[in-house]
Chains A and B, each alone.
Chain A
Amino acid sequence: MSFNIVVLAKQVPDTRNVGKDAMKADGTVNRAALPAIYNPEDLNALEQALRLKSQIEGATVHVLTMGPARAAEIIRESMYRGADGGYLLSGREFAGSDTLATSYALACAIRKIEKVDIILCGRQAIDGDTAQVGPQVAEKLGLPQITYAEEIIDLKNNVITVKRRLERGVEVVKGALPMVVTVNGSAAPCRPRHAKLTMKYKHAATPTEKQESGSDYTDLYDTHPYLNIDEWGVNDIEHDIQWLGLSGSPTKVKQIESVVFTAKESKRLTPANNEIEDLMKELIANHTIG
């Protein structure tokens, strides 16, 4: 019995530690100043996928990502961690996609993959924080969804039991596969696997990458087919062009502003006893405290 797990992942600019040079003078984002990383919650999703793979005989894990050529980096990283392979969906037709156009493209790509039993992805990506793509893909595929998953508790007879982490509590839900599950950052982190995997997949590459690196290794890919990362363009998926890219995106960006706060006239104090005492007296006197 095969059991096919697909993980949706995204390469994102690291917005968590944004420095001063992250914004250009004109208020646009200076992507070059932000390192591209594996979206953190997608790694949580990959971990859940790898755990299922280790429990289920014959299970495979493939990572699907949409992005520019360099996004193949996160597919390779997934393989280092234990994934069997991946698919890069790439092309200028996909540019300018909002979450809805993105989920349409991903849904088309998933339909191309044979018999998908479960689709896992991170709850949200740190560059947009929308948490929309997972549920939107599920709707497009007509599949149920479980969002905010913290742990897959059980998977038996095609029925999955999942613990969800909500704002004010937890919930355990149960339902039949196939299903889309979005994984929360509170789930187990993706621990590094065997270093051997890194060696094994070091040369894994998409056709574009192979072309760019020259033809030194052509034989290698014939003798080691698992090193080929699939790369799909718009013509490799069944689609209706009007739902892709800008035309498939109902939301439009009207305006972007950088955030500037108006500075106040501050009173500067030191920790000296008299200064702190005077401050507390003042706060009590004007009824701010007490």
Chain B
Amino acid sequence: MNNIIVYLEIEDGIVGDVSLELLTKGRALADQLKCKLEAVAGGFKLDGIGAQVFPYGVDTLYIADDKRMAPYTTLPHTSLLVNLFKEEKPQIALMGATSVGRDLGPRVSSALFSGLTADCTSLEIGTYEDKKAGKKYENLLYQIRPAFGGNIVATIVNPECRPQMATVREGVMKKEIRNPKYKGETKILEITKYISDTDFVLDVVERHIEKARINLKGSPIIVAGGYGMGSAENFKILYDLADVLGAEVGASRAAVDAGLCEHERQIGQTGVTVRPKLYIACGISGQIQHIAGMQESAMIIAINSDPNAPINTIADYVITGTVEEVIPKMIQYYKKNSK
């Protein structure tokens, strides 16, 4: 009772990174609140899930194993969570801000009348005072998220309703094993107690899910391009530099919106958060929404023809010049001086 529950996203029997990141955060919050960390898995052939999640410090794993639970559809997974939450009364429920979590979370929150905060960038525990009602609350979940295009950061609380629900995007939290030998308990749920046959109203006719091709989060060096790159054609020299350095190519939201680069490579509040040892920002002006996703990079080089581009203020090196001129030189002098 009153524990923290993380909803596990599962694809082909593998728990998604976003869920493991949430378990890591959930474990830290559970320690602080002195409660249990629990996880719930809905799907088919889930025998291998325990071994994947217990090392992250999961105390209880709920399993709803049924052929009809995979692939994910909205209503059965909603019923699973709604009925489990009614029984277990968790104080906090976390899920990924993915096309699954953002489909499921609002549905569950609407059914339970519990508040949900989307796309949190930070979760903390704290107090809250409702001065109007003269009430003080201890140990609430602070759900911290950017709003208005990233220009403000809001701290949201749910004083009265439980569970306090939040979604978090992949890559925002760190993933860290608590103890490889951590032992939790597995509870197999009886499907018919949680899910009704009438929940299976959607047929998944076709499904093509690719394995993540681009590993921005794990790349030690990132070469990122912005709107200032001008065209998809110009973006190619970023790939040339990335090839030479063994880097991955990223992009700002403006570049993605303009069609210069695919969405999977977007870095920032509405893309991936990265912490590489070197970040080379090319033709990126430095909107808050982008900076928030890369400011923790160990070293930042900004290449921009505008000497007053906002990104320059957080860069270790500012090269004022055009990307077309600077990058070929970087490639040339790297090749000349390495080996």
Chain A residues with a Cβ under 8 A of chain B: 13, 15-16, 18, 22-23, 27, 29, 98-100, 103, 126-136, 138-140, 144-148, 161, 164, 166-176, 249-259, 261-264, 266-271, 273, 275-277, 279-281, 283-284, 288-290
Contact = CB atoms under 8 A, between A and B. Distances in A.
How large, as a class, is the contact surface on chain B? 35 or more
A272 to B, nearest CB: 9
- Tell me the interface secondary structure of chain A in the complex: mixed
Contacts of B42: none
Contacts of B150: 259
13 contacts: A167-B98, A170-B208, A171-B206, A172-B204, A173-B73, A173-B202, A250-B158, A252-B158, A259-B292, A261-B291, A271-B320, A271-B321, A281-B333
Contact of A270 (B128, B207, B320): B320
A176 B315 contact: no
A255 B155 contact: yes
B3 interface: no
B317 A251 contact: no
B158 A174 contact: no
Nearest to A269: B319
Interface string B91-106: 0000000110011111
A256 B155 CA distance: 6
Nearest to A133: B106
Contacts of A170: 206-208
Sorted nearest first, the 9 A-B pairs with minimum C-beta distance are A250-B115, A271-B321, A15-B149, A251-B115, A139-B110, A132-B106, A136-B110, A169-B209, A172-B206
Interface string B138-164: 000011001111111111111111000
Contacts of A136: 106-107, 109-110
B192 interface: no
A280 B333 contact: yes
B147 A144 contact: no
Contact of B319 (A132, A168, A249, A271): A271
B109 A289 contact: no
Contact of B334 (A15, A126, A167, A289): A289
B318 interface: yes
B161 A250 contact: yes
A237 to B, nearest CB: 18
Contact of B148 (A18, A249, A266): A18
Contacts of A127: 147-148
A269 B333 contact: no
A145 B74 contact: yes
A23 B106 CA distance: 29
A165 to B, nearest CB: 8
